[in-house]
Amino acid sequence: MDVIISEIRDFVSQNSNLISQIFGAIVCVFAVASMQTKNIRYTMLFQLLCNGLGMISYLLLDGFSGFGIYLIATLQSLVFFLLRLFDKKEPVWVYPIIFAAYIVGSLLTFKGITDIVPMIAALLCALALIQKKTSNYRIVILLNGSVWLIY
């Protein structure tokens, strides 16, 4: 069993860029799919998948700012998806905590000026999840995706 784990670890380390690109392509497909749904629950499910795969992608590339932001985004998406799945209202106090988590996470992983870009994308993601109408959510997520492409 240790040999198999070692082989997998070697394969991933040697092909991390390729694997990351594959995850990135899947993220793009899920992002497009999320824009096509009419139901906010499905939109948020696709966003949860996008954030989780994006987190893995940036980890493979040693992009720790992107990884940190995607980690918070994945947790945020999971919480909001579950709340909406069970028709629960988000508590108002959660929004400032999310915004603060993104800013603190960005500052903790800050290495250079380009690390501001994930923070902007993260704040857009937090803003998107506040939206109640699917059309408003889509617009903000589209802006978010555009910022991530720059990074």
- Give the residue with greater pLDDT, 151 vs 32: 32
> How long a stretch of residues is the chain?
151
What is the full DSSP assignment across 61-81?
TT-HHHHHHHHHHHHHHHHHH
Kindly report the pTM of this predicted structure.
0.74
pLDDT, tens digit (0-9, with 9 covering 90-100), for 27-66: 888 888 887 888 878 888 888 999 899 899 988 888 777 7
pLDDT, tens digit (0-9, with 9 covering 90-100), for 109-126: 777 887 788 788 878 877
pLDDT of residue 95: 83
Q: How far apart are CA 120 and CA 102, in angstroms?
A: 9
Residue type, 36: Q
pLDDT of residue 53: 92
